[in-house]
Amino acid sequence: MKKLILLGLLFFTTLLSSQTFQTGTLTVTFNDPARTGGFGSGGGPGRQIQTEIYYPATVAGSNVAVATGSFPVVVIGHGFVMDWNSYDNIYSELSKRGYIVALPRTEGGFSPSHSEFGLDLSLVGNKVMLLNVTNTLAPIFVGKVSQKLALAGHSMGGGSSFLAAKNNPSVTCLFNFAAAQTNPASSQAAKQVVVPTLIIGGQADCVAPAATNQNKMWDSTASTKKFEIIIKNLTHCDFGNGGNFNCTFGQNTSNCPSTVTNTTALKLYMNFVNPFLDFNLKGICTEGTRFMDSVNLSQVVFAKQQLGILGCAPTNINEDEWISSLNIYPNPIKETLFIDVINSSELKINLFSIMGQKIETKNIIEGNKLKIELSDLPKGIYIVKISGNNSSITKRLIKE
């Protein structure tokens, strides 16, 4: 019976991966009451973070119905003095493949704050996933958002993706294009990034060359599954649609004009991105194999570094029993959270706010039941991470 269920799940996820959708669009302004500035208006008190969202739909259009299914989230940060539409080829492909793609429009001027942009990317990822529950901001997403998140970006946005991921326990994986060092340094933030990471650069990039940018981020990243791919002949502005004047002007004045069309470049780098996301966000085992084949066999790779592999290990009965034994209740919660498991002494429990701040808790073990007192916590959304037996899971909690 268990094999039949697993085969059914594999068929379902493979179907979602191969299905092609129309693209719906929606503009949403999120807010962060703890900060000021931003871009846009109407999101509420504090910092305004206007975000363009592209998603799988049954018909193309603005604010149209989301397609049947539950879809992972990808947040993409733009490059220096570039706008979200510079990446229409990327977000169009991802949305048609079954991803909800969000692109914040903040920090688009000539004096951007990298730290603020990193916080924006992180917040937007969390906020979009919260649209899965009843809300008035974008009700079309209720019940449609898978709780899987990839943070990404190009150039400045690529470096900022490390700043965004370092303290966000909701992040499932990270990828970026021609990532440039930020201030504070993305290579330092990478020391706190433990999720699967894909860093893609171009051999002919003279704006953010790999030696002084992507290589340093790869070296620092703490993940046990990390990959750096430098693609032959690609330049800095080959990542995206090539239509941004600021990027092209800066690249040409650096004497490294593009020699590959952006249409061709898209096929080259998405050959790595698509299976990377399908494996990490959709759990399709065969896509892990396809990704590793691209890494090891592709003729377009100029240089690469890798640690670990993407693939599904054989079923471990003990691990399977440990995960299936977990019973976390109640949710929503008012005072006490209970966790039932085979052996509670093996558990490590961490609680985080929605912004990734770790919260100290008082845990009481009673046999195979763990009690966590949360009566003093304010109302809101929290994330509990449970680790043990060489595996871990995360759950979202609502505190009433």
Instruction: Name which of 198, 162, 202 is nearest 181 in CA terms.
Output: 162
Q: Does 359 lie in the same domain as 298?
A: no
pLDDT(302) > 80: yes
Is residue 7 domain-resident?
no
Where residue 112 falls among pLDDT bands split at 50, 70, 90?
Answer: very high
Structure tokens at 398: 């609502």
Is residue 131 domain-resident?
yes
More confident call, 287 vs 7:
287
Residue 324 confidence (pLDDT) = 57
Among 258, 285, 307, which residue terminates a domain?
Answer: 307
Cis peptide upstream of residue 332 (ω within 30 degrees of 0): yes
Mean pLDDT score, 273-295: 95
CA distances from 79 to 117, 141, 158 (A): 11, 28, 8
Q: Does 191 lie in the same domain as 146?
A: yes
3-state DSSP assignment of residue 16: helix
Residue 230 confidence (pLDDT) = 98
Mean pLDDT score, 122-139: 95
Q: Does 391 lie in the same domain as 299?
A: no
Residue 321 confidence (pLDDT) = 55
Q: Does 268 lie in the same domain as 374?
A: no
Determine whether 152 is exposed, middle or buried from the number of CB atoms within 10 Å of its CB (0-12, 13-18, 19+). Answer: buried
Q: Does 289 lie in the same domain as 353?
A: no
CA 9 to chain centre: 22
Q: Does 388 lie in the same domain as 335?
A: yes
Q: What is the DSSP letter of 312?
A: P
Q: Does 328 lie in the same domain as 358?
A: yes
* Placement of tokens 């697993």 in the chain: 6
Rounded to whole angstroms, how far apart are CA atoms 158 and 302?
A: 20
**Mean pLDDT for the chain overall:** 88
Residue 8 confidence (pLDDT) = 43
Q: Does 287 lie in the same domain as 327?
A: no
Among 307, 333, 361, which residue terminates a domain?
Answer: 307
More confident call, 326 vs 282:
282
Cis peptide upstream of residue 45 (ω within 30 degrees of 0): no
Where residue 345 falls among pLDDT bands split at 50, 70, 90?
Answer: low
pLDDT(277) > 50: yes
- Helical residues (DSSP H) of the chain, grouped into ranges: 2-18, 88-96, 114-130, 156-165, 186-189, 214-220, 245-253, 262-282, 285-297, 317-325
Inter-axis angle of helices 285-297 and 262-282, to 10 degrees?
140
Mean pLDDT score, 322-332: 72
3-state DSSP assignment of residue 255: coil
Least confident of 98-107, 215-224, 239-248, 345-354: 345-354
Q: Does 338 lie in the same domain as 290?
A: no
Give the CATH number of the domain where residue 380 resides.
Answer: 2.60.40.10
Among 307, 336, 355, which residue terminates a domain?
Answer: 307
Cβ contacts of 224 within 8 Å, gap of 6 or more: 194, 307, 308
Q: Does 343 lie in the same domain as 265?
A: no
Mean pLDDT score, 322-344: 74
Residue 394 confidence (pLDDT) = 76
Give the CATH number of the domain where residue 119 resides.
Answer: 3.40.50.1820
Rounded to whole angstroms, how far apart are CA atoms 295 and 306?
A: 9
Percent pLDDT > 90 in the chain is 67
pLDDT digits (tens, 9 = 90+) for 243-253: 999 999 888 88
Residue 10 confidence (pLDDT) = 41
Mean pLDDT score, 202-227: 96
pLDDT digits (tens, 9 = 90+) for 76-102: 999 999 999 999 999 999 999 999 999
Whole-prediction pTM value?
0.79
Least confident of 125-139, 206-220, 382-396: 382-396
List of E strands, the chain: 22-32, 38-39, 47-57, 61-62, 71-77, 100-104, 145-154, 173-177, 197-202, 226-231, 301-307, 327-329, 336-340, 348-353, 358-359, 362-366, 369-373, 380-388, 391-399
Residue 315 confidence (pLDDT) = 45
Q: Which domain holds residue 170?
A: 12-307
Is residue 18 domain-resident?
yes
Is residue 6 domain-resident?
no
Is residue 314 domain-resident?
no
Q: In one letter, which amino acid is 226? A: K
Is residue 349 domain-resident?
yes
Q: Does 143 lie in the same domain as 171?
A: yes
Rounded to whole angstroms, how far apart are CA atoms 189 and 185?
A: 7
Is residue 387 domain-resident?
yes
pLDDT(6) > 60: no
Residue 390 confidence (pLDDT) = 60
Rounded to whole angstroms, how far apart are CA atoms 336 and 77?
A: 38
Is residue 1 domain-resident?
no
Rounded to whole angstroms, how far apart are CA atoms 38 and 32?
A: 9
Domains of the chain: total? 2
Q: Does 332 lie in the same domain as 276?
A: no
